[in-house]
Structure 1
Amino acid sequence: MSVRATTPAPTRSAPRRRPTPNGGRLGLLAVSVWTEIRSSFRTADFAVGAIAVPVLLYAMFGLPNASSVLDGGTRVGLAMLVSMSAYGVVSLAIFTFGDNLAKERGRGWTRTLGATPFPTWVHLVGKVANGVLLAVLIVAVMFALAATAGGVSLPPGSWLALGATMVAGLLIFSTLGFAIAFLARPRTAAVIANLIFLPLAFASGFFVPLGELPQVLRDVAQFLPTFHFGQLAYRVVMPDGDVEAWTGAATGATWVHLTWVLGSAVVLAGLALLAARREAVTRRG
C-alpha cells in the first residue's frame, strides 16, 4: 500500500498596507501649519506689523485715558481694547491672506503646488490655522496689557467671548484677503491691501470715534462690514448706551450687523473662488 505525499496549499498572507508618508492628510496639514508659522515669525516686518502695531497703538492711545469712564460705567481702556483688537485682527486677515498669498502667486509657488499631488486645500487651511494662532496671540497680548496696565476687569466668560469674537472676525475677513490675493496682480497686492484696509479701519471708527468724524464718513460707515463687526464686538462687553456714546453711531439690531458681516464674507468668498478657478483654467489652457 503506497502513501501519496500531499503538499499543503500555500496560505495567502494579507496584503501589507503601505505606510502613508507624513501621516496622511492630517500629517500634511500639520506640516503646512508649522511651515506657515515659521515663515511668519521669520519675517520681522510682518511680525512687527501684525502683532506689535496694535499693542503699541493701544499703549499710546488707550492707556493714557484708560481710567476714564463712560456714562454707562464702561472704562475707556476697555472700549479702546475692543477697537485696537478689531484693528489688529482685520489687518492680520487682509495681509496674511492677501499680500502674502499674492506674493506666492507672483513667485509661481501656487502654480508649482497645482502641478503636484499636494492638495491645495491643505495649503490654504494651513494659512488659516496660522492666522488663527496669530490672532489668538494678538488678543492674548492685548488682553494682558489691558488687564495689567489699563485696569480692565471682566468676568472670565466675557474675556472668552470677546476673544472668540475677534478670532471669528479673522475668519470672516480672511475672505477679503483671499479676494485681494486672487483678484489683484501680485506686485500691486500690498498697495491695494493698504488702500482698502486703512480707509476701512479709519471710517469704521477703530482709530477715532465716528462722532468725531465728518458726516460723510459716518454715512459711509453704515455700508462697511468692518463697522458692523465693530458694533458686534463692542456689544460683547459694553452696554448699548456706551456703544452709542463711544462710536457716535446709533446702535441697530444685532441681526442687521450680522447680515452685513456674514453677507459680505459670502460675497467676497465667492469672488475669491471665481478668481482662483479662472486662474486655474488659464493655467491649464
Structure 2
Amino acid sequence: MLTLLRLEIRRMLADKRFLILMLCLPIFMYLLFTNLFGAGQRAYGLDQNVSLMVSMAAYGAIGAAFMATAPRIAAERTNGWLRQLKVMPIAAHRVVMAKVLCAMVWAIPAIALVDLAAVIDHGVRLAAWQWLGIGGLLWVGTAPFAALGAFLGYLADESAAFGVMYGIYIFLGAVGGLWMPVDVLPTALRHVAVVLPSNRFAELGWNLAAAHGPSRPGVAILVGWLAAFAALAVAAYRRANAAR
C-alpha cells in the first residue's frame, strides 16, 4: 500500500491545474469573505478574521480532498488505471485507504496557506499550540471527505463526478456554517447543520482557536461519517471492478 500511496502522490504532482486550484481557491475565498463581512465576532465569540480563517481552511481542505478523489477516480475508470489496480495484489480496502491518505496529503497546503494569508493580511495571532492543534485536527478531520470523494468517484462516471462532487461541496460549505454562522440559517437548516461533517469538522478548529478542546459529540459524528463513507467507497470500488 505504501508503494501505491507514493505512486498516487507522484501522479497528483503532475496535475498542475489541480495544484493551482487547490492552493489559490481557499485563499481567495478567505480574503473575499473577510473583506465582505469586515470586523466583528462570529462563532464561539472569535474575532471574524480568526473564525473565517478556520472556516476557509476547513473549506479548502474539503475541496482538496474532493478534487484529489472524485473526478480523478472517475477518470481512472476510463483510462485503464482501475484495470491496473485490479490485477495488483492489494485488497479493496487498502486501495481506498491509499486514495484517502493521498487526498489528506493535499489538504495540508490548503490549510497552511489560508493560515499564512490570515497572518500576513490580517495579523492573526494565536499561541503556538493552537496553530499546531488547528492544523493537525483539520488534517486528520479531512479523512471523511476524502472517503466521500472516493465513493463518488467509484460511483459516478467521468462526465457526472465533478458536477455531483461540486454540488455536495457547495452544500456542505453553505449549510455547514462555513460561509455564514449557523445561527443565521433557518431553524430547519440549523438542525441539519449540526449533524453535517463539514460543521463538526470546522468546529474542531473553532474550539481550539477559542482555547477549548474538541467536543465529544462532534468527534463522534465525524467518526461515524468516516466509517459510513469508507464502507460505501469500498463497496463502490468492488462494484466498479465487478462491472469492469
The 1:114/1:39 distance shift into structure 2, 3 A limit, reads same
Rounded Cα–Cα distance in structure 2 between residues aligned with 1:269 and 1:118? 17
Residue number in structure 2 paired with 1:267: 228
Deviation digits for residues 68-113 of structure 1 (CA, Å, limit 9, x no counterpart)? 4569763211101011011111111122111111111132321133
Residue number in structure 2 paired with 1:96: 68
Higher RCO (C-alpha 8 Å, min separation 6): 2
Superposition deviation, residue 254 in structure 1: 1.7
Q: Identity percentage over the alignment?
A: 26
Mapped contact 2:62–2:145 kept (Cα < 8 A): yes
Rounded Cα–Cα distance in structure 2 between residues aligned with 1:270 and 1:277? 11
Deviation digits for residues 122-170 of structure 1 (CA, Å, limit 9, x no counterpart)? 8656544543332221222112111122111111111000000111122
Mapped contact 2:177–2:199 kept (Cα < 8 A): yes
Report 1:244-283 matches (<5 A): 254-283=215-244
Rounded Cα–Cα distance in structure 2 between residues aligned with 1:118 and 1:39? 24
Match for residue 39 of structure 1 among 14, 19, 27: 14
Residue number in structure 2 paired with 1:133: 105
Residue number in structure 2 paired with 1:220: 192
Q: Larger Cα Rg: Structure 1 or Structure 2?
A: 1
Q: Which letter maps to 2:53?
A: L
Structure with the bigger percentage of helix = 2
Q: CA RMSD in A?
A: 2.8
Paired residues, number? 243
Name the TM-score, length of structure 2 as normaliser: 0.86
Superposition deviation, residue 201 in structure 1: 0.9
Query: Unaligned stretches of 5+ in structure 1?
Result: 1-24, 241-252
Query: Unaligned stretches of 5+ in structure 2?
Result: none
Mapped contact 1:228–1:260 kept (Cα < 8 A): yes
Name the TM-score, length of structure 1 as normaliser: 0.75
Residue number in structure 1 paired with 2:33: 61
Q: Which letter maps to 2:121?
A: A
Rounded Cα–Cα distance in structure 1 between residues aligned with 2:229 and 2:102? 20
Rounded Cα–Cα distance in structure 2 between residues aligned with 1:212 and 1:30? 42
